[in-house]
Amino acid sequence: MKLRMKPEDFIVEEIIDFNKISGKKCYLYKLTKRNIESLKAFSYISKKFRIPLKDIGYCGLKDRHALTTQYISIPKKYGKLHLDEINLKLDIVGESKFLLLGDLEGNKFTITVRGLKKDDIPKIKENLKYLHYGAPNYFDSQRFGSVFDRKFIVKEIIKGNYEEAVKIILTKYKKSEKKIIKDLKRFINKNWGDWEKVWNYIKEKNIKARLYVNMVKELKKSNDYKKALSYVDDRLKKIFVAAYQSYLWNECVKELLKSYIPKEDRIYYEYEAGTLMFYKKIDNEIFETLKDKKFPTIAPDVEYKDSYKEIIDKILKREGLSMEDLNNIGDFGRFIYTERKILSIPKNLNIGKFEEDELNKGKYKITLSYELEKGSYATIIIKRAFLGVKTKKRFR
């Protein structure tokens, strides 16, 4: 199976409650973008209309490799704006207060899965019979872009492995990164510890990427890996902390589900951070028990009780950590407590028919549409729907 062969294969539409965002301070706009990151779109609008980025309100960030519709608010003092470009459109739809991340209700997804083999269709049909039971509400791969070889930067920092944390940042890369950065990271990996040589390479290639320049400059000066980590900006620090906390939550929920799901109904899926456990089917009574149940994230300043504490202690022990250890992240911030639903249940689920795939000769395609609450990953539902079918992503 193939995902995202073109942006129109992955359509995302924001769901907001217009009554909750009513107001007179701003104009409310519908932003439609194709194959563009949300922050890049906001930056473009900011420069084109000379509006400070802080004056653009939004509810969430949307996938790059997709056709997405979301809402943004801009104070009325900048006038009524309009854009109609090939991959970016901006249309005024009314008035509102200044939008914030908490204003999002959810998202509607319309996803076309391609490249399906005829032999896989019976297996997929069986999966789809149980899709209305949803899936574990795991954080998916998009959350773990900073994870390589299942190593977490923040976990290495907690354990005092500062050199390893720096090595992940300075030598590991995704295929989608710019060639000049990939070449730099390869060079650093090959010449690890020879910071004078690496510094000369940076100057020779006229590399401007501030994070890498500052970290190498510090290492050339002091060879202090902990000091080098101080040059990571606050946005990245939050991403690194969130990645590890999200992984721990996934592991806790997987452990919890083992007490409900018989072994014969479990199926496992490898992903960037480890292994996810799905249920092929679930008993109605168990589903009713779990559908509104939440599990907390792990935070060291919270006292957990009963089964939650038992599961959390088990996962931390497996990680070789104590609750107190989670405080050892220096200026990277802190682990924030929140509660997240254990299950992700699609609403208004619509399953299309299997059709011949015009982009893959001799193969089939199918389109699914559904709505999810904010924070839930559409790709988790796709993983559930196509369990046992080999996946090939068009984009990372």
Does the annotation count 63 as an active-site position? yes
Residue 64 confidence (pLDDT) above 90: no
DSSP class of residue 269 equals E
**C-beta separation of 378 from 65 below 8 A:** no
Q: Please list the residues that pair with 5 across neighbouring strands.
A: none
Residue 393 confidence (pLDDT) above 70: no
Catalytic residue (one of 9, 17, 55, 63): 63
pLDDT tens-digit readout, 119-168: 999 999 999 999 999 999 999 998 999 999 999 999 999 999 999 999 99
84 three-class SS: strand
User: What are the two backbone dihedrals, phi and then psi, of residue 241, each rounded to the nearest 5 degrees?
Assistant: -65, -45
**C-beta separation of 171 from 192 below 8 A:** yes
Residue 227 confidence (pLDDT) above 80: yes
Residue 55 confidence (pLDDT) above 70: yes
CA distance 74 to 51: 9
pLDDT tens-digit readout, 157-196: 999 999 999 999 999 999 889 999 999 999 999 999 999 9
**C-beta separation of 130 from 391 below 8 A:** no
Name every residue whose Cβ is closer than 8 Å to that of residue 119 and which is 6 or more positions away in sequence: none
pLDDT score at 395: 39
Question: 99: burial class by Cβ within 10 Å (0-12, 13-18, 19+)?
Answer: buried
Name every residue whose Cβ is closer than 8 Å to that of residue 340 and which is 6 or more positions away in sequence: 137, 249, 294, 295, 296, 297, 375
Average pLDDT, the chain: 95
Name which of 66, 104, 90 is nearest 371 in CA terms.
Answer: 104
pLDDT score at 396: 34
pLDDT score at 92: 97
